[in-house]
């Protein structure tokens, strides 16, 4: 038999494990990247969200592991803790019943425990740049045995604050290591990083012109800023998604939005980077288990997370650029499944939608809600015209002032106002049922934020790509 993963020269034990997990045929990126990675070449791999990139690097990485050598041989770097945990789970599923050990090295968790676990000599470590670098500095993690380094979501890992940590790690390693860079998006400035660290890289790109999954439908609704929460509520009622991720741009908006949505009876929890580590893990775990319907999150949840039950991604704030849009909406419509991306925008934000549809070559269709249904705006206009004619014919003199016309009442009845931002923003509330005495605010202090802001003066290659000319003229 020489089909599927066996044809890619994946060892029988892993082919068998994959079969047990219900995976028999390699995806395009797996079929293209695995053979090259197995040759030991440095690989730059790009494919859409939800196309199986994790397995595309995990399998070659496992192939190089020498179980008789008790040292760290492979490092996987990721931008967020949640993604790190997910990748550890995937790897552990693959190495079940084998001698390969995997250890996660992420921030927020007890460093002592991670140090203890490193004494058990895992061959593979998966981590976020800060914590991995910290363990190297403490001389608890040795880099000399590392032969494979994967940087997942490489464009995000090489942003601002993490970049120095990653480059310090690279400098501490032997020249003779294989580098694998993966992402759905490769902003042009990333080429400098590739040129600096990779040796004769092979570029594997699957369908790069098609930036988002073809199984995704892109929609948007227009409303005023103060009506966004209510619009979201109505969208959720109408679509009733099995599970949805709702994105906001700022951490500070999460607590207030969660409270308001819970108040109107929605099943929702918040997830953001500054929340306590235990709360983050708990919210993520509960969402994976289907314990609530809406995960209200910052871009911490935008990348890599694989949650098959997510049918809708909703942008309560528009993402700051097209790449962010790609990753956010990529949380649904994965592996051939259908998904819906819904953006809720103000009239002033309309230009952003236009920009995304042009940049990404996709159609983002406007929808409105009318009489409890989602309709095309053109349909709504037709219905309103007909209603008006009918009303005028029947009761011509009953609504002389204009403000009390039936269509105005209809529109109001369906849209009770629930302002999203009134005065000062409320600090995010803690999710879950944690200690009641714990502070409700994020544990990140103001001084930290100040420092972060200052850090942005440093290597800001990513910022260069921002285009201020896209802003509306005043």
Partner DNA sequence: AAAAAAC
Minimum CB distance to DNA, residue 202 (Å): 28
Task: Report the DSSP beta bridge partners of residue 312.
Answer: 244, 340
Choice between 71 and 250, CB closer to DNA: 250
Phi (first) and psi of residue 145, to 5 degrees: -90, 0
Residues 6 or more apart whose CB falls under 8 angstroms from that of 286 comprise: 269, 292, 432
Minimum CB distance to DNA, residue 53 (Å): 19
The answer to whether the Cα torsion of 116, 121, 125, 129 is positive or negative is positive
User: Could you tell me the two tokens for 396?
Assistant: 């011509």
Minimum CB distance to DNA, residue 102 (Å): 17
Minimum CB distance to DNA, residue 230 (Å): 20
Choice between 43 and 78, CB closer to DNA: 78
Binding site for DNA (CB under 7 A): 79-82, 106-109, 111, 127-134, 137, 156, 159-162, 249-252, 272-274, 298-300, 318, 320, 324, 349, 352, 452, 455-456, 462-463
Choice between 58 and 251, CB closer to DNA: 251
Choice between 82 and 230, CB closer to DNA: 82
Give the containing element (helix H, strand E) for 246. Answer: strand 244-247
Residues 6 or more apart whose CB falls under 8 angstroms from that of 234 comprise: 369, 414, 415
Choice between 318 and 333, CB closer to DNA: 318
Minimum CB distance to DNA, residue 279 (Å): 12
Minimum CB distance to DNA, residue 196 (Å): 19
The SS3 call for residue 437 is: coil
Cα angle, residue 332 at apex, residues 225 and 6 outer, rounded to 5°: 160
Choice between 160 and 391, CB closer to DNA: 160
Residues 6 or more apart whose CB falls under 8 angstroms from that of 66 comprise: 73, 123
The pairing of strands 339-345 and 364-366 is unpaired
Q: Which residue has the tokens 């070659």?
A: 60
Question: Residue 129 and residue 80: Cα distance in Å, rounded?
Answer: 9
Inter-axis angle of helices 81-95 and 12-20, to 10 degrees?
110
Minimum CB distance to DNA, residue 152 (Å): 12
Q: What count of other Cβ atoms lies within 10 Å of the Cβ of residue 63?
A: 15
Choice between 27 and 185, CB closer to DNA: 185
Minimum CB distance to DNA, residue 16 (Å): 34
The SS3 call for residue 355 is: helix
Question: Residue 354 and residue 346: Cα distance in Å, rounded?
Answer: 13
Choice between 111 and 411, CB closer to DNA: 111
Choice between 100 and 345, CB closer to DNA: 345
Cα angle, residue 46 at apex, residues 42 and 50 outer, rounded to 5°: 125
Choice between 6 and 160, CB closer to DNA: 160
Minimum CB distance to DNA, residue 321 (Å): 7
Largest CA distance in the chain: 91
Q: Are 59 and 209 in contact (CB under 8 A)?
A: no
Minimum CB distance to DNA, residue 162 (Å): 5
């Amino acid at each position: 038999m020489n089909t599927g993963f066996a044809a890619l020269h994946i060892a029988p034990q892993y082919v068998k494990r994959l079969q047990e997990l219900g995976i028999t045929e390699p995806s395009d990126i797996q079929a293209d990247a695995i053979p090259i990675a197995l040759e030991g070449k440095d690989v730059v791999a790009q494919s859409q969200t939800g196309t199986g990139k994790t397995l595309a690097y995990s399998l070659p990485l496992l192939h190089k592991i020498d179980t008789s050598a008790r040292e760290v041989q492979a490092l996987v770097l990721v931008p967020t803790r949640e993604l790190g945990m997910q990748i550890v789970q995937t790897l552990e599923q693959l190495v079940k019943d084998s001698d390969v050990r995997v250890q996660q090295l992420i921030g927020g968790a007890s460093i002592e425990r991670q140090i203890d676990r490193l004494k058990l000599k895992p061959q593979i470590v998966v981590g976020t740049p800060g914590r991995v670098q910290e363990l190297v500095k403490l001389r608890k993690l040795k880099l000399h045995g590392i032969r494979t380094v994967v940087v997942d979501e490489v464009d995000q890992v090489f942003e601002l604050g993490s970049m120095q940590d990653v480059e310090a790690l690279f400098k501490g390693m032997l020249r003779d290591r294989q580098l694998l860079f993966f992402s759905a998006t490769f902003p042009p400035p990333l080429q400098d990083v590739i040129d600096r660290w990779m040796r004769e890289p092979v570029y594997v790109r699957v369908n790069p012109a098609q930036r988002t999954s073809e199984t995704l439908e892109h929609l948007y609704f227009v409303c005023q800023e103060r009506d966004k929460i209510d619009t979201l509520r109505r969208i959720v009622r109408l679509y009733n998604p099995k599970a949805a991720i709702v994105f906001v741009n700022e951490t500070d908006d999460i607590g207030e939005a969660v409270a308001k949505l819970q108040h109107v009876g929605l099943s929702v929890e918040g997830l953001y980077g500054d929340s306590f580590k235990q709360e983050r893990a708990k919210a993520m775990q509960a969402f994976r288990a289907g314990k609530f319907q809406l995960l209200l999150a910052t871009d911490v949840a935008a990348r890599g997370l694989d949650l098959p039950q997510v049918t809708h991604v909703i942008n309560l704030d528009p993402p700051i650029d097209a790449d962010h849009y790609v990753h956010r909406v990529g949380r649904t419509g994965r592996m051939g499944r259908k998904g819906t991306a819904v953006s809720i925008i103000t009239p002033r934000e309309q230009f952003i939608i236009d920009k995304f549809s042009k940049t990404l070559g996709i159609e983002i269709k406007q929808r409105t809600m009318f009489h409890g249904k989602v309709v095309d705006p053109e349909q709504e206009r037709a219905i309103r015209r007909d209603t008006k004619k009918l009303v005028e014919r029947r009761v011509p003199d009953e609504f002389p002032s204009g403000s009390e016309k039936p269509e105005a009442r209809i529109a109001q009845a369906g849209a009770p106002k629930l302002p999203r931002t009134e005065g000062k923003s409320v600090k995010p509330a803690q999710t879950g049922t944690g200690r009641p005495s714990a502070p409700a605010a994020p544990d990140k202090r103001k001084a930290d934020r100040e420092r972060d802001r200052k850090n942005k003066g440093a290597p800001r290659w990513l910022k260069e790509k921002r285009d201020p000319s896209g802003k509306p003229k005043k």
